[in-house]
Every structure is written in C-alpha cells, then in structure tokens.
C-alpha cells in the first residue's frame, strides 16, 4: 500500500455539493481533497463531460469514506433546524407566518435604502390568535 495514494470516492456536478461532502468526511476524521473543482467551476457547461468535481480520500480509508457518504445520501446526517413556534394563547404548534403583501408593496420603492426588518406576524390555525415575533 502506497502511503500517498488517493482514490476517487464520489463525483458531484458542482463545487458546493462536493465541498459539503468533503467537509463531512473531514469531520469524521478522513482526510479529503477535491479534484477538477476549478475546471468544473470555470467550465460549468462541461461538468458532465469532465466527470464533475471528484472527491478523493486516502486509498486505505476508501471503505470508511463510502460508508459515510452512503449515510449522507440516506439523510442520516440531516438535522431539523426549523423553529417550532407555539401559540401564546392555546400553546398549539399549528402556527404559520401571516403573509403581508400590502406591506411589501409599500416597501418596494424603498428597497434601495436600508430598512429595519419587520417583525413576523404569526397566526394560530387552532384558535386564530394573531401575534408578532420580535
């Protein structure tokens, strides 16, 4: 076994997906590097013909890299970061953000100027309570 040999473990159509997978392998203790990332980025229209951005790992850790990437493809590394809001009146979690199109139309002429973010208006689907966040 040659100490400096690397094996392609995956190929991705763009640098973003390849970088995410590379970061995952590195977070699991497997050194990783990308191949053809600059070529695919600059000649994106030839990405498929070039074989995409290659993700490589040391040859002796190829099997472990395959297992980690398989888990990633199965969604085992995903987390749910969506906030869960509760109605202050009935404590229901069936709440949605109220759309405020008139406010947006009023702000369109000002889009070139910095303005403070408006508070979110929330509505409970259970008891129809309205409240503001922030």
CA atoms 52, 71, 81, 130: torsion sign: positive
Residues 6+ positions from 88 with CB-CB distance below 8 Å: 129, 131
pLDDT of residue 86: 85
Burial class (CB in 10 A: 0-12, 13-18, 19+), 129: middle
| Residues of the chain scoring pLDDT < 50 | 1-2
CA distance 10 to 51: 10
CA atoms 21, 23, 27, 28: torsion sign: positive
pLDDT of residue 64: 97
pLDDT of residue 95: 85
pLDDT of residue 1: 41
């Amino acid at each position: 076994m040659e100490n400096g040999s690397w094996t392609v473990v995956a190929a991705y159509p763009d640098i973003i997906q390849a970088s995410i997978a590379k970061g995952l392998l590195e977070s699991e203790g497997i050194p990783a590097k990308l191949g053809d990332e600059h070529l695919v980025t600059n000649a994106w229209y030839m990405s498929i013909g070039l074989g995409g951005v290659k993700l490589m790992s040391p040859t002796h850790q190829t099997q472990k890299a395959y297992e980690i990437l398989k888990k990633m493809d199965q969604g085992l590394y995903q987390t749910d970061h969506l906030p869960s809001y509760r109605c202050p009146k009935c404590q229901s979690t069936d709440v949605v953000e109220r759309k405020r199109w008139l406010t947006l139309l009023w702000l369109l002429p000002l889009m070139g100027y910095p303005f403070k973010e408006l508070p979110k208006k929330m509505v409970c689907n259970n008891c129809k309570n309205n409240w503001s966040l922030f």
